[in-house]
Amino acid sequence: MQARIDAIRNQPVPAQRLLINGQWQEGQDAATPVVSPIDGRQITTLATGSPDDLDRAVAAARAAYVAGHWSRMPPPARKKILLAIADRLEAEALDIAVLGVRDNGTEMAMALKAEPLGAAATFRYYAEALDKIYGEIAPTAPDVLGLIHRGPVGVVGAIVPWNMPLMIGAWKLAPALAMGNSVVLKPAELASLSLLRLAALCTDCGLPDGVLNVVTGKGAVVGAALAGHMDVDVLAFTGSNGVGRQLLLASAQSNLKRVYLELGGKSPNIIFADAPDLERAARVAAQAIFRNAGQVCVAGSRLLVEASVHDAVVEQVARHAAALRVGDPLDLTTEVGAVCSETQLRQNLAHVAQAEAEGAHRVTGGARILSDTGGTYMQPTVFDGVTPDMTLAREEVFGPVLAVLPFADEAEAVRLANDTVFGLASAVWTGNLSRAHRMVGAVEAGVVHVNTYGGSDLTVPLGGHRQSGNGHDKSLHALDKYVNLKTAWIQL
């Protein structure tokens, strides 16, 4: 596989365009350079969409929805197209993964599995589900028939982040399309290439014109126009807490569109002294924060360790962190790839400086490395001596920086875990089954792992509590975002 990767890694990437009503078009503004975090070199350009471009995309999506070529297409026919998309994603997985890695720097081993193959699995899952979602008959009086119909909402806007754009994009696109909606997609400026490739596959596989439209460009321009558009019915977003607030405000100031948000996290990874295997817990704790250079929404960025094993666990985590191979993400032996951009790397390093200024102890890492490559790389970083009031314990870094906090007992572990405005993910390591169940109930998070971290599949939902958002991606529950319920009350 490495030879194939090396053969395609430098293939030219044509200038990218917008997809509106089935046609690839230039943006109205000057194109935006795409710079790879691997080596700092420009690999192509993105079309820079304008509010006018966005208006045309929404109009195309609405016209396609009203025409009914997709929204009223029989479920078996919709299924066939979505399955064809899944097949193409699998067939072209390596090429798509390499393209995505060149765009955002995720290590190849992770990108291949999570991005094209994960997206393929998502399209296949919702393709198989779409003709198994039924309406309901309500238990009414004998002379009344109450029917509950499920139908598409109309036009869905989707704004997708740069860290795992294809996987997260599929989590939104596949269920929205499965339910018969039209979609206007806004990828992140820093990572649009894999989603544009997906859009091309969708058109190749027979998705009708206008059902999927892609407008690249600046979030403050295209994203804002999508959020405030009067003819968008639902907006689905994954990204930062600050942007999520702006989208809610835009909804309130426009047409009160439903807004579903998967926002940030400061997820606690809790290791008790009775964990079945402390060495494994430490190794997985390092993976939970350092994979994809910490650029994962559910990253276990706060490590809470019972005091009696604190020193030993910190030593083991630091050892695993220091041993991780950071470098060229297209090298299959690399374990931690590039930080997505120069701006993000500077933010990460600022968090390191802030933590030291506030008195935290840097155990390992904390510096930029491989600067001679032209890329953006950072050492996996572990801070001990972190207290709950420190910035590092409260703010999301979205980088390879781990904060370690000790706790005395179960009660304090729960208090520390929940001492955050976020509530996306968490983990508990214990050999005590009763404690595991108590912690699952007590920790305020959308996901509570037990004796593992990550690895859940499409059968279970992902969604945040508190300020980590609302609504769910993955599982059949994701379909709820993209359907309208309609009651028929029939007097017999």
The tens digit of pLDDT for each residue in 131-160 reads 999 999 999 999 999 999 999 999 999 999
174 and 54 together in one domain: yes
Specify whether the CB–CB gap between 233 and 153 falls below 8 A. yes
Specify whether the CB–CB gap between 383 and 405 falls below 8 A. no
Count CA within 13 A, CB hemisphere, residue 269: 26
Q: What is the CATH number of the domain that holds 340?
A: 3.40.309.10
Structure tokens at 306: 């019972």
**Dist. CA 365–CA 380, nearest whole Å:** 5
| Mean residue pLDDT across the chain | 97
Range of the domain at 252: 2-263
27 and 175 together in one domain: yes
Domain tally, the chain: 2
**Model confidence at 227, in pLDDT bands (50, 70, 90)?**
very high
**Percentage above 90 pLDDT, the chain:** 98
Backbone angles phi, psi at 317, to 5 degrees: -60, -45
The tens digit of pLDDT for each residue in 70-98 reads 999 999 999 999 999 999 999 999 999 99
Record the pTM.
0.97
User: Average pLDDT for residues 100-118, to the nearest whole number?
Assistant: 97
Residue 418 in any domain: the answer is yes
Catalytic residue among 107, 189, 262, 335: 262
Please report which helix (H) or strand (E) contains residue 40, including its range: none
Residue 132 in any domain: the answer is yes
**Dist. CA 474–CA 172, nearest whole Å:** 9
Backbone angles phi, psi at 150, to 5 degrees: -115, 125
The tens digit of pLDDT for each residue in 16-61 reads 999 999 999 999 889 999 999 999 999 999 999 999 999 999 999 9
**Whether residue 275 has pLDDT greater than 90:** yes
**Model confidence at 211, in pLDDT bands (50, 70, 90)?**
very high
199 and 336 together in one domain: no
User: Average pLDDT for residues 457-482, to the nearest whole number?
Assistant: 97
72 and 94 together in one domain: yes
User: Average pLDDT for residues 322-331, to the nearest whole number?
Assistant: 98
Specify whether the CB–CB gap between 36 and 339 falls below 8 A. no
The tens digit of pLDDT for each residue in 451-466 reads 999 888 999 999 999 9
| Catalytic residue check, 262 | yes
C-alpha to C-alpha distances, 303 to 46, 365, 427, nearest whole angstrom:
39, 16, 9
**Whether residue 492 has pLDDT greater than 90:** yes
Q: What is the DSSP letter of 132?
A: G
244 and 314 together in one domain: no
What's the confidence (pLDDT) of residue 391?
98
What's the confidence (pLDDT) of residue 456?
86
What's the confidence (pLDDT) of residue 29?
85
Residue 32 in any domain: the answer is yes
